[in-house]
Structure 1
């Protein structure tokens, strides 16, 4: 259980949720892998019911195709949807509660470390500043390269080499925020288990300490393993973390077929007590 927020503080519920190729493109679409099955209306309605239970102030979304789909889960007028400009199916997005001021910053396109003529491209980062009228928080939504959940910077596997090129870009972005004294959060699917002493975490925190509630904690999602969905807090935002506020929303469906129509990730959330 969490304690009460400090007097005058506004508690902000911040979530990240990978929606596992949430698209309504037809099966066989050349942009989809053969094993991806587009969702139908019942699937989207089921996810929307979980989104209503989650009830976040801000939700980072990964692997979502269109703003219309995001709005089915987080509808207007309660939420405003922002989406990355990536030319991919697995875009990143933010659902932001009405009443919060939003400033969109240029996407962090440099996270797509593939060459321009590559047959497929990686996701950039969605960069947004949130302001509640008293304090502001810079947010970067990421979805990093899969295939290197526990590899080091010296791992020669292609996925690890790609991932750590992205980590260098992300480290630069974090350093800029720290140099500017700007409270920030990096949230999304890192595709990497940030355990205690992990080399990736060491790189990201090389210019200043970060607070990462998911480090060294096993997630109960789909039977349990260490988190790859993370929320990193830096600068003053580290002090805003509501103690013991880390939560994972579990799915209730027992039917394996229905389970496969949800997501292979569960929503992860924390509370921030903004001044």
Structure 2
């Protein structure tokens, strides 16, 4: 198991022409709703202005061209971290608090497709619902990239969890939805990435990843790596590349940005996830 070192990322001006940086970042209940709001668990507290300032500073250092964001309550909060005119913000139309979103650097052409609502595999009468997927095309012509942002069901991190668990059955139903989306992209010959919080420690021998790769090869940027943000555990935040994007993925470009530590050496808690990034070299 290889523990990926944490490296600060360079500002966009340092990128070679044709390179873009993709990131995924779960922001852990990014909301300003008051504690006790019926849409929130009892132990969730709103972010303070100081915490939002700290997250904004990390977003500035991260400097992605395309950032998948998870657990975002509103486009206004996402824009607080990735403000205009530098970024365009897109957020799913879910009624849930933990929406997925995308911050796209200004100047990149964006076409939004219908949200992948099939990822909410619960029935309409269910008391709670799952997150849908955000589906966009970025760029035009030979370097167009189809991007799907996801946040899958928690509670089934590895195959040892057993498919009989309710959470595992739910996650496998979501994996089947992703299979269909990936198959459509492969049939169209599109370059694509699926990124976000999979709540699953994907690996080459994992049945979930094998199912996603059933109809054509995909590259898992986090394969065989462990996250320094999770004390050496395998990643659950992933970036998958398929079609021509597999060749665009820069080898060894995977990076994790860690938060500062306090005087006792403990990482300051701004989120239970750290930003994960890779670079693509466009044709």
Partner residue, 1:259:
268
Partner residue, 2:279:
271
What displacement does 1:100 show? 0.3
Q: Is the 8 A contact 1:99 1:132 kept in 2?
A: no
CA–CA distance in structure 2, aligned partners of residues 207 and 153 of structure 1: 25
What displacement does 1:222 show? 4.1
Task: State the Cα deviation string for residues 207-235 of structure 1 (Å, max 9, x = none).
Answer: 00000110121011042210000000000
CA–CA distance in structure 2, aligned partners of residues 13 and 85 of structure 1: 26
Partner residue, 1:42:
50
Q: What is the aligned counterpart of 1:102 among 110, 116, 120?
A: 110
CA–CA distance in structure 1, aligned partners of residues 17 and 140 of structure 2: 11
RMSD over equivalenced CA pairs, Å? 1.9
Partner residue, 1:68:
76
TM-score by length of structure 1 reads 0.94
Task: State the Cα deviation string for residues 45-67 of structure 1 (Å, max 9, x = none).
Answer: 00000000000000000001000
Partner residue, 1:180:
188
Flag structure 2 segments of 5+ consecutive residues without an equivalent.
1-6, 8-15
What displacement does 1:196 show? 2.5
Partner residue, 2:198:
190
What displacement does 1:255 show? 6.2
Using the TM superposition, name which of 81-90 and 146-155 deviates more: 146-155
Using the TM superposition, name which of 218-227 and 48-57 deviates more: 218-227
CA–CA distance in structure 1, aligned partners of residues 173 and 21 of structure 2: 31
What displacement does 1:195 show? 1.6
Task: State the Cα deviation string for residues 218-263 of structure 1 (Å, max 9, x = none).
Answer: 0110422100000000000000011210000001132689833x00
Flag structure 1 segments of 5+ consecutive residues without an equivalent.
2-7
CA–CA distance in structure 2, aligned partners of residues 196 and 180 of structure 1: 25
TM-score by length of structure 2 reads 0.91
What displacement does 1:134 show? 5.1
Q: What is the aligned counterpart of 2:128 among 120, 144, 156?
A: 120
CA–CA distance in structure 1, aligned partners of residues 161 and 230 of structure 2: 29
Kindly indicate whether residue 13 of structure 2 is the aligned counterpart of residue 10 of structure 1: no
Partner residue, 1:242:
250
CA–CA distance in structure 2, aligned partners of residues 22 and 255 of structure 1: 26
Q: Is the 8 A contact 2:259 2:267 kept in 1?
A: no
CA–CA distance in structure 2, aligned partners of residues 77 and 38 of structure 1: 26
CA–CA distance in structure 2, aligned partners of residues 104 and 226 of structure 1: 32
CA–CA distance in structure 1, aligned partners of residues 49 and 140 of structure 2: 34
What displacement does 1:133 show? 6.1
Q: Is the 8 A contact 1:101 1:133 kept in 2?
A: no
Q: Is the 8 A contact 2:159 2:206 kept in 1?
A: no
